[in-house]
């Protein structure tokens, strides 16, 4: 980690470097537990986002990565990629490196705390930043930069992720997310009116520390349980539920222990299961996958007292979603994903990017055929010739970082640290992490053939995917 050099000016300006963490990915990892940050800081006034061209709205294309929305964000003239996370109050910047220079002003040291750890993490608060998102601009955005213990989301997502943004954007607009078209529309609240919609359900939002919550009902085992859930677009799971026997919230009998995600303090573990159903107004989702984090990871987390968990992107992706923070409303309109079953990973393998490998490619360049060229004729016949260019390329290297106990992959003999060489005959370095995750989660009974490298030796493994619960 590089040391930050302070410029001894009146404005207390420093220059840091931000780099794009190279492609890394993980299908079922995508639980980003920044929704429970406790920020120890003083309130500072900042500007709102405003649409510059005078229009009532702007449209922005986003990248949908494992059901998570990633948007381009320009900070002080540097374009970065941010996770759009309705579960966070403050904008957080990380991924510190040594390439593009980013200027930060008005620095103050603060501490963050989140799932996965007990000790708070040191960070820097910066104000007075010019931030552009689509056609909107905020001339005085405050954000928090993690640098002592940088959070590397990119190694689990497969694309550069420099930070997360939530309430700072949602509070100023009515935001529609079209998960099918990967489009975001942001409307000025005074220019927006909800249209009549028979297929839609409108849920009331209530807020705690600027984070949106909804009250819904779920059936866990045979018990109808009221749930107060954080609406968390930055969580790749369907549901996180906090066990509370006093309120009738218990872990179903059919469950399994698993790695649930990665918080600012490290890995988070718990139980995975299903609940019978989740009622969202007059819409019902059946057989919803639900994760129950161990209570160890909930300690020292400042959160809404009545909160029972989170509703994440695996549910939101089934709808055209409208967030109306000013009007305290969440509209859900079912899309073509609505009836898709909820499934867990069927292999038990968690794969992440682990650097690069050098691959040598031979590029053939055929020579044009010319009848007057004696070098291309033999006994009066044209002879086809070609030359080769040797090209060296950096390709991604993937390794296994988590294995579910008693999963098909573990039973086959795979281990943490195994480097993927081939998957079903395809070179792993030619695949994205999303594609690898898709192969490893495709269908019950599908045969998977892996070649991995372990301690310098290539080994072959075969197993069949198995549906859980």
Query: What would the DSSP string read from start to end of 303-339?
Result: --TT--EEE-HHHHTTEEEEEETTTTEEEEEE-TTTT
Lowest-confidence region among 56-65, 129-138, 339-348, 352-361? 352-361
Same domain for 177 and 90: yes
pLDDT digits (tens, 9 = 90+) for 154-183: 666 767 788 899 999 999 999 999 999 999
Cα–Cα distance for residue pair 95/130, rounded to 1 Å: 19
- Does a structural domain hold residue 339? no
pLDDT digits (tens, 9 = 90+) for 379-397: 555 555 556 667 777 788 8
pLDDT digits (tens, 9 = 90+) for 254-287: 999 888 876 655 678 899 999 999 999 999 999 9
Whether 100 shows a pLDDT value over 70: the answer reads: no
Cα–Cα distance for residue pair 358/388, rounded to 1 Å: 18
Whether 26 shows a pLDDT value over 50: the answer reads: no
**Dihedrals phi, psi of 181, to nearest 5 degrees:** -95, -5
Residues in CB range of 196: below 8 A, 6 or more apart:
none
pLDDT digits (tens, 9 = 90+) for 396-437: 889 998 898 889 999 999 999 999 999 999 999 998 887 888
Q: What is the CATH number of the domain that holds 299?
A: 2.40.70.10
Same domain for 210 and 167: no
Length of the chain, in residues:
469
Side-chain-side CA neighbours of residue 160 (13 Å)? 15
Contact indicator for 57, 191 with CB cutoff of 8 Å: yes
Contact indicator for 57, 185 with CB cutoff of 8 Å: yes
With pLDDT > 70 as the criterion, what percentage of the chain qualifies?
75
Same domain for 221 and 158: no
Cα–Cα distance for residue pair 28/68, rounded to 1 Å: 11
Would you say the C-alpha torsion 144, 150, 155, 160 has a positive or negative sign? positive
Same domain for 231 and 206: yes
The confidence score (pLDDT) of residue 387 equals 62
349-366 and 283-293 strand pairing: unpaired
- Does a structural domain hold residue 402? yes
Domain end (from 189, 214, 232)? 189
Mean pLDDT of the chain: 81
b/e sequence 216-241, b meaning 16+ C-beta within 10 Å: bebbbeeeebebbbbbbbbbbbbbbb
Whether 353 shows a pLDDT value over 60: the answer reads: yes
Contact indicator for 451, 460 with CB cutoff of 8 Å: yes
Q: Give the count of beta carbons closer than 10 Å to the beta carbon of residue 173.
A: 27
Contact indicator for 234, 32 with CB cutoff of 8 Å: yes
The confidence score (pLDDT) of residue 132 equals 97
Same domain for 399 and 316: no
The confidence score (pLDDT) of residue 112 equals 67
The confidence score (pLDDT) of residue 312 equals 96
Same domain for 454 and 425: yes
Consecutive H or E run containing 169: helix 167-170
Cα–Cα distance for residue pair 409/429, rounded to 1 Å: 20
pLDDT digits (tens, 9 = 90+) for 279-310: 999 999 999 999 999 877 666 554 556 889 99
Nearest to 312 by CA among 268, 278, 347: 278
Whether 95 shows a pLDDT value over 70: the answer reads: no
The mean pLDDT value for 91-110 works out to 72
Same domain for 234 and 156: no
In which domain, by residue range, is 211 found? 194-334
Same domain for 175 and 201: no
Same domain for 290 and 268: yes
Whole-angstrom distance between the N-terminal and C-terminal Cα of the chain?
43
Same domain for 206 and 156: no
Q: Provide the domain count of the chain.
A: 3
């Amino acid at each position: 980690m590089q040391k930050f050099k302070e410029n001894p000016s009146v404005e207390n300006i420093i220059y840091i470097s931000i780099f794009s963490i190279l492609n890394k990915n993980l299908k079922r990892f995508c639980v980003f537990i920044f929704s429970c940050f406790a920020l120890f800081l003083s309130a500072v006034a900042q500007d709102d986002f405003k649409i510059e061209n005078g229009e009532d709205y702007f449209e922005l294309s986003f990248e949908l990565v494992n059901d998570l929305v990633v948007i381009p964000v320009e900070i002080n003239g540097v374009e970065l990629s941010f996770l759009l996370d309705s579960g966070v109050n403050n904008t957080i910047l990380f991924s510190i490196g040594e390439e593009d220079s980013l200027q930060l002003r008005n620095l103050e040291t603060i501490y963050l705390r989140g799932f996965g750890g007990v000790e708070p993490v040191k960070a820097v608060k910066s104000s007075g930043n010019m931030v552009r998102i689509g056609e909107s601009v905020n001339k005085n955005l405050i954000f928090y930069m993690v640098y002592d213990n940088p959070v590397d989301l990119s190694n689990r997502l497969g694309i550069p992720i420099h930070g997360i943004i939530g309430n700072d954007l949602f509070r100023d607009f009515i935001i529609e997310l079209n998960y099918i078209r990967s489009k975001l529309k942001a409307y000025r609240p005074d220019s927006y009116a909800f249209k009549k919609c028979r297929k839609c359900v409108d849920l009331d939002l209530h807020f705690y520390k600027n984070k949106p919550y909804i009250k819904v009902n779920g059936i866990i085992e045979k018990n109808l349980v009221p749930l107060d859930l954080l609406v968390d677009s930055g969580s790749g799971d369907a549901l996180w539920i906090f066990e509370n026997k006093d309120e009738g919230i218990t872990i179903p009998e059919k469950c399994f222990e698993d790695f649930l995600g990665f918080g600012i303090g490290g890995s988070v573990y718990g139980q995975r299961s299903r609940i019978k159903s989740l009622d969202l107004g007059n819409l019902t989702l059946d057989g919803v996958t639900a994760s129950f984090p161990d209570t160890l990871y909930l300690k020292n987390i400042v959160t809404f007292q009545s909160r029972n968990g989170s509703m994440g992107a695996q549910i939101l992706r089934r709808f055209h979603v409208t967030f109306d923070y000013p009007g305290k409303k969440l509209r859900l309109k079912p899309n073509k994903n609505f009836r898709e079953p909820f499934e867990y990973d069927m292999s038990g393998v968690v794969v992440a990017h682990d650097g690069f490998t050098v691959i040598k490619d031979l590029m053939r360049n055929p020579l044009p055929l010319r009848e007057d060229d004696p070098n291309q004729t033999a006994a009066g016949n044209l002879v086809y010739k070609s030359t080769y260019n040797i090209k060296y390329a950096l390709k991604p290297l993937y390794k296994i970082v988590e294995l579910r106990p008693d999963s098909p992959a573990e039973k086959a003999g795979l281990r943490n640290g195994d480097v993927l060489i081939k998957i079903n005959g395809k070179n792993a370095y030619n695949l994205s992490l999303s594609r690898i995750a898709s192969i490893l989660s495709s269908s019950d009974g599908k045969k998977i053939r892996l070649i991995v490298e372990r301690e310098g030796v290539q080994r072959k493994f075969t197993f069949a995917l198995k549906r859980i619960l």
